[in-house]
Structure 1
Amino acid sequence: MSAQVYPFAGSPAMSYVPQQNYDKQKMNGAAVGPIPPPATYRPPIHRQKPGCCRLFCSLLFCFFVTILALFGITILVMWLVLRPHVPSYSLQNIEFHSFNLTEQQNAYSLNSDVLYTLEASNPNKRIGIQYDEIDIYTFYAGDELGQSSIPAFYQGHRNTTILTSELKLVNATLSQSAGTILQSSIQSTTLVSLQIRVDVRARMKFGSYTSFHFWVHSICDVQFYPPTATTPASVTSKSCGHTR
């Protein structure tokens, strides 16, 4: 049998010497093994607790997020229940009782009596409309001729209301260019174009709740033949569109 060799005291397998005894053994001439690597010092980790300000900001943020979420859910539920629709307006008829243009020293003035008939439609099933004011502005070639108004009133659910407003102009001043064009149209009996702007300020009402004010603006284009000594004015076309 082969002899089993055990490592002797100076062999590499037995040469580990603790760090604290290394210098003493070296001074005594003893054989020492390799120097063990020094232990790495790791300072303890201190976890900093959140401050009061940071905690307050987090709670405040959560509070506002919750409020916004509840507000959004409320608006969504109300919309699903009420299904609101914007009311619509259209110009049904125009009657020119008078329409006279005069010229004095290159200045033009217009005397006119016009009756507008409007149709206001509320398509909502559960919402009424409280009108605060309806203003009607009349323009020709960029010049504002005048304004008429319709008093405040309430319109019920799914209701269509016919409204009338009279515009009386007495010596309404026109610019030189607009007066010249209108005078030429009257003398040649050609079409005259007017622009009618309807501004509606209203609120929605459902139950005992009244909403904030909102505006609806409509622009109507009207074309008509001006009146003559033998024939009254006649409207050939009118069309309206909502601007917002």
Structure 2
Amino acid sequence: MASNGSRGCRCCLCKLIFIVLVIIALAAFLFWLVFRPTMVDFHVTDANLTQFDYANNTLRYNLALNMTIHNPNKKIGIQYDNIEARAFFLHQRFHTQTFSSFYQGYKNTSVLNPLFKGQQFVLLGTQEKVLSEFNKEKDSGIYNIDVKLYLRLRLKFQAIKVGNLIPGFTFGKNIIKPKFECDLKIPLRNNNNGLGFETTYCHLRF
């Protein structure tokens, strides 16, 4: 008798767990139907590179960017807790800039203006190989500079902040940590070579 009772309790527990999971799945699906959350878009619309010199393992640079962040969601605002922009040359980071917290409303576009300026000791590899690659880009007048964006953000709708952007989200203080990569080809303005910067889309990376 006790054995049958235990099996009955386990069966009821399994049914209860199944029902709860179905309810959670339906709630997540309804949330997606109503709000249809979509990831933000990043573009670099302009780049002004006035100095980019490398000698004795020291990189001297002056790069100003104009970036746009577009929130395509109609019913979801975005709270950016932190945005960190890192600049790389030949896979080596040479500068980092952090932006303070801000809120972005529905169907809204915000502008960021990262400025990477200074000098940094960087070991890019063997001196001969590095100088060869650097001189190649110097002769072309266009430098391949990668900017990676590390975000900490939350969704906000009807006074509720949501942790994740896709079904399976959690409520509370959890945050989304997407990363975007902008592969930029930037002409040196001092060259007077007539080359201009083309707007570049930044790709989402996981």
- Give TM-score, length-normalised by structure 1: 0.69
What is the alpha-carbon distance in structure 2 between the residues aligned to residue 201 and residue 192 of structure 1? 29
User: Which residue of structure 1 lines up, in the alignment, with residue 113 of structure 2?
Assistant: 164
Q: Which moved more, 1:61-70 or 1:167-176?
A: 167-176
Alignment of structure 1 residues 21-170 onto 2, 5 Å = 51-103=4-56, 108-170=57-119
Q: Which moved more, 1:124-133 or 1:71-80?
A: 71-80
What are the Cα deviations for residues 134-193 of structure 1, in whole angstroms up to 9, with x where unaligned?
Answer: 11122222222222222111001111111111112323324223344214533x354321
* 1:220–1:238 Cα contact (<8 Å) kept: no
Amino acid across the alignment from 2:130? A
User: Which residue of structure 1 lines up, in the alignment, with residue 168 of structure 2?
Assistant: none
Among 173, 186, 205, the alignment partner of 1:224 is: 186
* Alignment: residue pair count: 191
- Give TM-score, length-normalised by structure 2: 0.81
What is the alpha-carbon distance in structure 2 between the residues aligned to residue 49 and residue 81 of structure 1? 48
Q: With CA pairs under 8 Å and 6+ residues apart, which has the higher RCO, 1 or 2?
A: 2
Amino acid across the alignment from 2:79? Q
Identity of aligned residues (%): 20
| Structure 2 gap segments, 5+ residues each | 164-174
Whether 2:205 is the aligned partner of 1:243: answer yes
What is the alpha-carbon distance in structure 2 between the residues aligned to residue 78 and residue 163 of structure 1? 31
Q: Which has the larger radius of gyration?
A: 1
Shift of 1:61: 0.5
What is the alpha-carbon distance in structure 2 between the residues aligned to residue 234 and residue 171 of structure 1? 27
Q: Which moved more, 1:52-61 or 1:172-181?
A: 172-181
* 1:143–1:178 Cα contact (<8 Å) kept: no
Whether 2:157 is the aligned partner of 1:206: answer yes
What is the alpha-carbon distance in structure 2 between the residues aligned to residue 144 and residue 154 of structure 1? 28
* 1:134–1:201 Cα contact (<8 Å) kept: yes
| Structure 1 gap segments, 5+ residues each | 1-47
Among 187, 193, 215, the alignment partner of 2:177 is: 215
Among 195, 202, 213, the alignment partner of 2:146 is: 195
Shift of 1:224: 2.8
* 2:94–2:120 Cα contact (<8 Å) kept: no
User: Which residue of structure 1 lines up, in the alignment, with residue 171 of structure 2?
Assistant: none
